[in-house]
Amino acid sequence: HGVKDWHARGRTNVIGALIGKTLLTISLFIASINADIFYAWITQDLLPKLLPLPMPGIHLNTCRLIPRT
């Protein structure tokens, strides 16, 4: 750990996905990435971009992110 604090405020975390050299999606979070946030990102951001058409028989349980206050 560093010796100086530098009065750092919040930390921004990033989750993204690449297909080859193409950036498919990227999301910024001002929170630690836990299992709930990762699951929400997968179901709400990544999968809709990978599966653009509704597919019979595939049902996703989704959760909504609630910003921390």
Q: For 27-60, what is each residue's pLDDT tens digit? A: 999 888 999 999 999 999 998 888 765 555 555 5
pLDDT of 37 reads: 92
pLDDT of 10 reads: 76
pLDDT of 2 reads: 59
Q: End-to-end distance of the chain based on CA atoms, in angstroms?
A: 28
Around 36, how many Cα atoms within 13 Å sit in the side-chain half-sphere? 7
- Among candidate residues 47, 37, 40, the one with its CA nearest the CA of residue 17: 47
Torsion of the alpha carbons at 25, 19, 54 and 14, rounded to the nearest 10: -20
Query: Hey, is 36 helix, strand or coil?
Result: helix
